[in-house]
Structure 1
Amino acid sequence: KQISVPVRVQGLESVRLIAVGAFHNLALQEDGTLWAWGNNEYGQLGTGDTQPRSQPIPVQGLSDLTLVDIAAGGWHSTALTDEGEMIKKGKKFSEEGDYLANDEEKKDERYPQGSKPDEEPLFPVG
């Protein structure tokens, strides 16, 4: 359902950061939990499946981490931890930074602090 007038997203309180992708959204709450909703074709919501969500749902596999920043791209989501690790969920990239055409694997990618998978800054997405 497309809505052309801003509305309050139900189920979220004390939101610290919002990130907006092409067809999905992320919200990092003050308590450190990350929530996602929208299109999930490539697993970018981090829910362990590819079902779209019209309401926010917690992102899985982050409860033991302290998140300090979030970003959303076209078909992927990223979170940055307080230790400098980046976690990426959703569509995978080639070494050149392009989306992979045959991306069947829905596994999280994790980059430790200081790693550079393609010699570009780790966190910016687009």
Structure 2
Amino acid sequence: MSLQLHKINSKALLDTTIEDRDCQLPIPLPDTFKTVTKISSGVWHTVIAGYDQHNRPQIATFGKNCDGQLGTGDWENRDTPTQAKLPPEMHTLHTIQTRFFHTIATGLDKNGYPIVASCGYNSDGQLGCGDKDNKNALIPIKLPENMKSVEMVATGVKHTVIVGKDINNKPMVATCGHNGYGQLGTGDEENRLYLTPIGIPEDITTVDYIEAGTYHTVICGRNMKNQPILALCGCNSDGELGLAPQKITQKSSLMTNPALFFPPRQDRNAINNMMKISKFSPCNLL
């Protein structure tokens, strides 16, 4: 099995050479791969997830590995997809996320309980493992006590956001890592070494999407009337929270901005189309 890859860069992320490529080239996957279900790319590395012939989850990584983000158990770069080990208790792989310098994988154990594992750069606790040491293997991390499921993950440059459901089947958001701009939504600017539950606006009854920018966090949800709502926190130096930066430079707790309330919609396609707008403003959205 092989992948078609486009525009291989000088960091040798996607091929065995260090030359740029502007055409699609196939690369071989580990022999154990029978299907590919997900792909995620960080700044200098790529992660591929799939299943073997026995329907067991597989993960392969390649690219830069100076911080252990490949999860191969060492610090050596890889120029071809290389098998990385998932935690043995992870029987099902649901999500992989790696936008910057660390990697997050989520899945279920044999009893259906959620597992979140992390590796890579950990300068501010973004791996959620309780320390600031980089990790070169995917290690399960502690989840908040009342979180019964994990549905979505987003990674900023030095923070991590997960969304799931609590024991009462209500949406639950937890964050960890760098919080110098309030991007964790904890109401302060202190870093967190473990996944920490945060408050979300009371009118959000369902969370549909999450995104983590470099230093800010965005949640898209809906209220009881099925009207979509955006909640944001973190750095606002360039208006990334949808507010004039001269009025507020950062926000340390999730807030809903009246300028960002969408018109009522019943389907996600409307939300998807609106999320493509490059700059949120009342003129664009209302």
Interval of TM-score (by shorter of Structure 1 and Structure 2): 0.7 to 0.9
- The TM-score normalised by the length of structure 1 is 0.77
1:7 Cα offset (Å):
1.3
Q: 3-state DSSP class of the match of 1:11?
A: coil
**SS of residue in 2 equivalent to 1:22:** coil
Is structure 2 residue 155 aligned with structure 1 residue 20? Answer: yes
- 1:33 aligned to 165, 168, 172, which one? 172
Question: In 1, distance between residues paired with 2:202 and 2:239?
Answer: 29
The CA distance in 1 between the partners of 2:283 and 2:238, in whole Å, is 12
2:228 match: secondary structure = coil
Partner of 1:124: none
Q: Indicate the RMSD between aligned Cα atoms, in angstroms.
A: 3.0
Aligned counterpart, 1:4: 136
After superposition, residues 1-126 of structure 1 pair within 5 angstroms as 1=132, 2-12=134-144, 13-31=148-166, 32-66=171-205, 67-82=207-222, 83-94=227-238, 104-106=249-251, 108=255, 110=257, 111-114=260-263, 116-117=280-281
Q: Deviations over 1:105-126 (max 9, x none)?
A: 42645221158328779xxxxx
* Larger Rg belongs to: 2
More helix by share: 2
User: Which has the larger strand fraction?
Assistant: 2
| Alignment check: 8 A CA contact 2:229 2:256 kept | no
TM-score after normalising by structure 2: 0.37
Q: 1:23 to 1:95 in 2, by over 3 A?
A: closer
- The unaligned stretches of length 5 or more in structure 1 are 122-126
Percentage identity across paired residues of the two chains: 25
Q: Relative contact order (alpha carbons < 8 A, sep ≥ 6): 1 or 2 greater?
A: 1
Match of 2:55 in 1: none
Contact 2:185 2:198 in 1 (8 A): yes
